[in-house]
Amino acid sequence: MNEKYDYRVISIAKAISKLVSSIPEKKMQRARLSEQLSGMDVETVSELLNYIVQMSEDDKLAFKNVVGALIDSQFLVSALGNAKMSDIYIKLEEKGYYSVREMLVSYPMKRRKASESDSTPSLEMDALPLGTKKSLAKSNSKEVLDKLIHEQNPAVIKNILNNPRITEKDVLKMITRRPVKAEIITEVVNSRKWTEMYIIKKAIIMNPYTPTKIALNLLHFMLLQSLKEIASDTQLHYSIINTAKKIIQKKNSNEK
């Protein structure tokens, strides 16, 4: 890492990373992170976030946990306000902290025509009221759950993800579907149980319908071989490909 950081920024970053890593639930992680950042000026927030991202790229686990908490960055907008977030985006641009800026901003997703094999919704389930589907998502019947896997409502998906009968294979069906709603991807990444699984994180990144800011955050958890696959996938957004290449270069440099 070539940048030189103020000792105060480093100390704050380490304290925040330690705090976030001690909290298992993502919602609470974001709440505490918001508390920490809300009282800081734009300059400090920009320097802090850049340092955390750089340390995450150096495979520092505690800092990766903070990056993971930033996956759905809308909470920062709510905590800091639109005006301050706008100033932070401008500051990140001025300083050339493009990796951080891209993690906080959603770019348009690459689109392709969906094929019939991508989504096979159940007409039987489509006809049911939302409340009924939410209740069925808690069912012990695997047959019922298999029919709900293609559900498009995030509230139903949330219940399915919490169902102990659901398997890794089922979740992969949800997140590899093309197209897939951003809200469904968000529900999966907000589930600690499923995002602890490497194969789930990788599948989310590899789906071109995943919001870019989510994919960019998850890149920091990828191993070298996976990063190479991602960097060569032309279906993905250029910011994801370029960031993957940057992390590969950094990992190779660190090994020398």
Q: In a structure prediction context, what are the per-residue pLDDT tens digits for the chain, which is 256 residues long?
A: 445 678 999 999 999 999 998 998 888 888 899 999 998 999 999 999 999 988 887 767 889 888 888 877 778 888 888 888 888 888 888 888 888 887 887 655 555 554 444 445 555 667 678 888 888 899 888 888 888 888 888 999 999 999 999 999 999 999 999 888 999 999 999 888 998 899 999 999 999 999 998 999 999 899 999 999 999 999 999 989 999 998 999 888 877 6
Give me the long-range contacts of 77-81 (CB less than 8 A, separation at least 24). Answer: 78/34, 79/34, 79/35, 79/37, 79/38, 80/34, 80/37, 80/38, 80/45
Give the pLDDT confidence score for residue 3 in this predicted structure. Answer: 58
Read off φ and ψ for residue 9, nearest 5 degrees. Answer: -60, -45
Quick check: 194 and 200 in contact, CB under 8 A? yes
Give the pLDDT confidence score for residue 114 in this predicted structure. Answer: 47
CA–CA dist 72, 92 (Å, integer): 18
Nearest to 32 by CA among 62, 64, 76: 76
Query: Token pair of 120, please?
Result: 């096979």
pTM of the model: 0.70
Give the pLDDT confidence score for residue 54 in this predicted structure. Answer: 87
Give the pLDDT confidence score for residue 56 in this predicted structure. Answer: 87
Give the pLDDT confidence score for residue 124 in this predicted structure. Answer: 61
Give the pLDDT confidence score for residue 176 in this predicted structure. Answer: 93
Could you tell me if residue 96 is left (phi over 0), alpha (psi between -120 and 50 degrees) or otherwise beta?
left
Give the pLDDT confidence score for residue 2 in this predicted structure. Answer: 45
Give the pLDDT confidence score for residue 104 in this predicted structure. Answer: 80
